[in-house]
Structure formats: C-alpha cells, structure tokens
Amino acid sequence: MSPDLFLAAHGYAAAARAPLPGDAGHRRYLRLTGGPRPALLMDGSGAAAVGLPSAEADLRAFMAIAAHLRRLGLSAPEVLAADPPAGLLLLEDLGEPTHATLLDAGAEPMPLYLAAAETLAALHAAPPPPGLPAWEGEAMARATAATFLDWWWPAALGAEPTGAQRAAFQAAMRAMLAPFEGAGSFVHRDYFPANLLPLPGRPGPASVGIIDFQDAGQGHPAYDLVSLLQDARRDVPPAVRQAATARYLAARPGLDREAFEAATAAMAAQRHLRVAALWVRLDRRDKKPHYLRHGPRCWRLLDEALRHPATAPLAAFLDEHVPRRLRANPQGANPQMEPAA
C-alpha cells in the first residue's frame, strides 16, 4: 500500500504533512495535522535500499518494543495503525520539541539529563521483552569492524587491513567486552537527546518520551548511559554527567558501582570507535560529509575511555596498529556544517 492510500484509509487523506528533519538512518517521518488526532507517519520502506532487514521486520520490532515500553508505564508512541509489509506506521505524536532541540535553544541541561537518567533507570530495572537480539561481544565487535576496519581504516591508513589485523582486532574487542556479557538488560542503543521528548504532564519516568528504539538489543545497561552522557553529537558538561550518573545509580542500588564503571569504559570505547568511523562511512558511502564534524569529539571520548584498565585489550591493539596522530578523521576530510534541525 502506498503512503497516500494508507493515510486515506485511516482518515488522514486531507491532513497537512510536514517532513521531520532527516538523520543518519533510512526512515522518513511526516508530522500530520488536520486528521482525527495529531500523528506521525513513519515510513521505513527504505530499509532494503541500504542493505538492512526488510521494512516489515523493522516495523514489527518497533511495534513490539513500543508495546513493552508502554506496559512498563513509560512513554512510547501509541501505534494508531500499521501496514508492516509496506513499512508504514501511524503513530501518536508525542510533541514537537525533543531534548536535543531544547538544548540547542539554550535550555538548562541539568533537569533534562536528570529526567532522562531516571527514565533510563526505570527502563533497565524491568526484564527485557523476549526475542531481542544480543548486543554483546560478537555483535558489537562485528558492528565496529564494519565501520572502523571497512571504512575508516582504508580512508585513514591508505590500505585495507590484513587478515591478521582483522583477527587481532576481533580478538581485542572480544577480550575487552567478554567480562560484561550476560547482563541481560534492555539496551535502547541510541538513548540520547534527539530521541527523547519532554512530557511534563506525565508522572515520574513517564515524563520523558522515548522514540527510535526499534534497533534495541539485550546487553549491558551501561551502554545506554554512555549514549546519553557521552553523546557523539554534543558536549555534556562534566557536572551534568556526574549528577545524571549518580541519579541513575541511586535508582538502581543493587548495581556494583565499580563493575558498572568498568563496563561504562568498555561500552564507551566500543561506541566511540564505531561511531567515529561511522561518520566516515556516512561521508564516503552516503555523501553526508556534515557528520564528520562530530569526529573530533568521538576520538576525544575514545581517548578518555582508553585510560581505564577495562579497555586494555583495545588500547593495546590501537597502540600497535594505529598511531595516535592518525586517530582522527582521515586526512583531507572536509566536514561541512551540519544542517539546522
């Protein structure tokens, strides 16, 4: 079914349609006004074009996770109508400003990050739904290799990595991540301000709306706290990072603080290396050079994470194969200014 027919079937034929700002992904969103109620159209039909699973699988994952979050009393969009084979969902519109747009407009960061940390703690405290893919050692190492070895390495070092280098990298990643497998937590994977919305009329953890969770997995909860407080796209003040971490840990008193700190370093090292190289892929493959402006931040955060003993296997690999002076965007990269949201 086409988007026009889908919208007409559910009373939105005459609704005004406003595209939402694009991102690094393949999904397209339209804000609908003038229909039965404010809503968003989520169009995931572009999944196959970028080599991802089918649009149907993508949207069914979204629907299942949305239902899980809502059962927990958290604020995920209600699914108003769905045509998964066509990659189309009609969703409740949780509102226009995100935490990211508020921060960009000069909002005080502390309240937003504290609320986000409280909501994240509630999300992680509940058992995850069945069927989530693992987001642990093997999957994380493979995802990192797909950006760092396949895109950043040849662009920055001038040659493809050898088979021995690939094997050594995989071994280093697995060794770093192995101590933190089996945590069994829900992991959003992109829990950062652009995917969070303020809902002040809702109580407690429900006061933060959560979106873009269809790629969720099962792994260590520290990963999501890294996504929030060591954001690849914006600097988070140290005082805010410390306060939000304290708020999260206070809400989860059963966690071992020292072990969680070690896991945080390992999750941060994986995420920052993968995302620093992802910007290169977006530049070279997808012709989106503006994302390269975030590269220096990712490399700086990676360097911070590599100071922790828990990241020693990856630190040793990088020290042997990647000189510090090259830990940056590839030479000659020309990041453009990112379009305004």
Same domain for 80 and 110, yes or no, is no
Whether 109 contacts 101, CB under 8 Å? no
Q: Does one domain contain both 46 and 193?
A: no
Same domain, 141 and 73: no
pLDDT of residue 193: 98
73-92 pLDDT, tens digit per residue, is 999 999 999 999 999 999 99
Let me know whether 70 and 161 are in one domain.
no
Task: Specify the higher pLDDT residue, 236 or 24.
Answer: 236
Model confidence pLDDT, tens digit, residues 101-142 = 999 999 999 999 999 999 999 999 999 999 999 999 999 999
Residues linked to residue 135 through DSSP beta bridges, in sequence order: 219
The residue among 25, 58, 92 that closes a domain is 92
Q: What is the residue range of 74's domain?
A: 3-92
Residues 114, 51 share a domain: no
Q: Does one domain contain both 58 and 131?
A: no
Cα gap 44→24, rounded to integer Å: 13
Domain identity same for 195 and 157: yes
- Of the candidates 299, 319, 310, the residue with the CA atom closest to the CA atom of residue 180: 310
Does 83 share its domain with 132? no
- The answer on 114 and 205 residing in a single domain is yes
Residue 301 lies in a domain: yes
| Cβ–Cβ under 8 Å, residues 43 and 27 | yes
At 214, the amino acid letter reads: Q
* Residue after which a domain boundary falls, among 71, 92, 113: 92
pTM: 0.91
Average pLDDT of span 215-223: 97
Residue 260 lies in a domain: yes
Q: Is residue 303 situated within a structural domain?
A: yes
- Residue 249 covered by a domain: yes
Q: Are 229 and 113 in contact (CB under 8 A)?
A: yes
Residue 336 lies in a domain: no
Q: What is the mean pLDDT of residues 182-194?
A: 97
Is 331 within the bounds of a domain? Answer: no
Q: What is the DSSP letter of 75?
A: B
Structure tokens at 51: 């080599």
Which ranges of 285-311 does DSSP label H, i.e. alpha helix?
Answer: 295-305
d(CA 320, CA 309): 17
Q: Is residue 203 part of a domain?
A: yes
Look at the chain and report how many structural domains it folds into.
2
Return the SS3 of 92.
Answer: strand
Is it the case that residue 317 has pLDDT exceeding 70? Answer: yes
- 173: CB partners within 8 A, 6+ apart: 137, 140, 141, 144, 145, 270, 313, 314
Q: Burial, 181: exposed, middle or buried (Cβ in 10 Å; 0-12, 13-18, 19+)?
A: middle
Residue 59: pLDDT band with limits 50, 70, 90: confident
Structural domain includes residue 338: no
Question: Do 126 and 58 fall into the same domain?
Answer: no
For residue 92, list its beta bridge partners.
39
Q: 251 falls in which pLDDT band (50, 70, 90)?
A: very high
Query: Do 236 and 251 reside in the same domain of the chain?
Result: yes
CATH number of domain containing 307? 3.90.1200.10
Same domain? 36 vs 179 = no
Which CATH number goes with the domain that contains 7? 3.30.200.20
Q: What percent of the chain has pLDDT over 70?
A: 93
Q: pLDDT tens, 1-31?
A: 899 999 999 999 999 999 987 665 677 899 9
Name the domain boundary from 75, 92, 109.
92
- Alpha-carbon torsion, ordered 139, 121, 305, 234, to 10 deg: 100
